Structure 1
Amino acid sequence: MKILIADDDPQLLRALRITLTAKGYEVLVARNGTEAVSIAAERRPDLYLLDLGMPELDGLEVIQAIRGWSDAPILVVSGRSGAGDKVDALDAGADDYVTKPFSVDELLARIRALSRRVPQGDAEPVVAFGDVSVDLAAKSVVRTGGGESVHVRLTPTEWQVLELLVRNAGRLVTRQMLLTSIWGSEHVTDTGYLRLYMSQLRKKLEPVPSEPRHLLTEAGMGYRLVLRPDGPASASLAEKG
């Protein structure tokens, strides 16, 4: 099993890496939130151990980013002991919460419990917005109009941008999350990439590219995919049969 540990405490990272490796786990480490999202997107761990108080992206933002593409268990390991912090983490998508300092035996027991819940072969959703249908499993996009269905050709990078937005439909996806997930942490300030690819996606998927209804810009923050401009964003999300 592959576990990603994300924490800005180098001593804790080293101790957990040694302990979990000795127990037979494959361990990946990240020292900040941006690095955690980048490694998560590239290596797709089976389970996550995340601190909340990380630099660049905090733990809640990392959880939200991971939940855009993965149902893998997330165990928060944090020095924050307030009930509000625990509720926020669980609401964001975490599965369990351990407060520092913790017993190694307790942590290992929680990891074993969560590892029994690792998803196996879940069906990928088909998502529709406007006259567009996105099949995440087949990695295909179809537009329907005038009684005809036409496959839309996307470049690999256009697909990556769209997929991340689709998996977070209705939620803000920050520029930092998109840049880190697709191009890596070294490109986290290259916002011109996003403007270019969002413009291309709108030309291919929006009825009126200059007046987007679905691929929306959140000024100064990022982008949001709205499935139904006049209703809940989740209303058109259906599991593939």
Structure 2
Amino acid sequence: MIRVMLVDDQELIRTGLHTIVDSHDELTVVAEAADGYAATSLLETTEVDVVLMDIRMPGIDGVETTKRIRATRTPAQLRILVLTTFDQDENVLAALRAGADGFLSKGAGPAELTTGILRVALGEHALSANAVHALVDHVTDGMNRPADPAVAALFSALTPRELEVVEAIVRGSSNADIATEMFLSPYTVKTHANRAMMKVGAHDRAQLVSLAVQAGIQP
């Protein structure tokens, strides 16, 4: 059973999230917090696998809370999935740079939400299509810029299949979506994605998207 902590300053939102998470057979809510201070305090005494957290909260926001959690817990020890109603690129980037493992919109349906939790719990990154598009917009400033030859050269080392996977990731597709589209297993897709990240020097999926766009790969 995957143990989930909910962090949101709105009780009504937490109640709704609690209902959705607990309705899944593999998930259970073990703690709730109304702000980052309470969340970091609860983590000292509560065993948690995934923190599901709002990015906009009074006191310390989700980005700062993520930084504080990462100061004591590595991704291997605890996963962090950020939720927000704002699909602004600075929020996406700040959360991921702080150490979040995924970013979903509060408008996500129950299936997308529970799937996102399961994915980060398994060690993957969960990025909604909106989050990926925000990353792309940030890198390109909303314009079609010419590819950076030096960055494009990094991607020339990818196999055709690895490049296909990267293109799908830039479009915002999950590993499961890519697996269905390409008639591969999710494990094989993850392997291709990891090899692509290693070849181009990307530390995570978000950086892979950023580099791909700089290389001229568009969604």
Q: Is the 8 A contact 2:50 2:79 kept in 1?
A: yes
SS class of match (1:42):
coil
Q: Which residue does 2:89 correspond to in 1? A: 83
> Which amino acid in structure 1 is aligned with residue 32 of structure 2?
V
SS class of match (2:6):
strand
The runs of 5 or more residues in structure 2 that have no matched partner are 125-219
Residue 116 (1) aligns with residue 122 (2): yes
- Structure 1 segment 123-162 matched on structure 2, within 5 A: none
> Which amino acid in structure 1 is aligned with residue 46 of structure 2?
R
Q: Which residue does 2:28 correspond to in 1? A: 26
Shift of 1:49: 0.6
Residue 55 (1) aligns with residue 58 (2): yes
Give the TM-score normalised by structure 2: 0.51
How far apart, CA to CA, are the structure 1 residues paired with 2:108 and 2:20?
Answer: 14
How far apart, CA to CA, are the structure 2 residues paired with 1:58 and 1:100?
Answer: 16
1:69-97 Cα distance to aligned partner (Å, 9 max, x none): 21211110011211111001000000110
Moved over 6 A (4+): none
Q: Is the 8 A contact 2:35 2:59 kept in 1?
A: yes
How far apart, CA to CA, are the structure 2 residues paired with 1:59 and 1:31?
Answer: 11
> Which amino acid in structure 1 is aligned with residue 65 of structure 2?
V
Shift of 1:26: 2.7
Shift of 1:12: 1.3
Shift of 1:98: 0.7
SS class of match (2:82):
strand
Q: CA RMSD in A?
A: 1.5
Shift of 1:22: 2.3
Shift of 1:35: 0.8
Residue 102 (1) aligns with residue 108 (2): yes
Q: Which residue does 1:153 correspond to in 2? A: none
How far apart, CA to CA, are the structure 2 residues paired with 1:53 and 1:41?
Answer: 23
1:153-184 Cα distance to aligned partner (Å, 9 max, x none): xxxxxxxxxxxxxxxxxxxxxxxxxxxxxxxx
How far apart, CA to CA, are the structure 2 residues paired with 1:106 and 1:52?
Answer: 18
1:71-129 Cα distance to aligned partner (Å, 9 max, x none): 211110011211111001000000110122221111111111112129xxxxxxxxxxx
How far apart, CA to CA, are the structure 2 residues paired with 1:93 and 1:8?
Answer: 21
SS class of match (1:53):
coil
Q: Which residue does 2:71 correspond to in 1? A: 68
Instruction: Indicate how the Cα distance of structure 1 residues 100 and 18 shifts in structure 2: closer, same or farther if over 3 A, else same.
Output: closer
Q: Is the 8 A contact 2:85 2:107 kept in 1?
A: yes
More strand by share: 1
Q: Is the 8 A contact 2:24 2:114 kept in 1?
A: no
Q: Which residue does 2:99 correspond to in 1? A: 93
How far apart, CA to CA, are the structure 1 residues paired with 2:44 and 2:68?
Answer: 9
Same amino acid, percent of matched pairs: 26
The runs of 5 or more residues in structure 1 that have no matched partner are 119-241
SS class of match (1:43):
coil
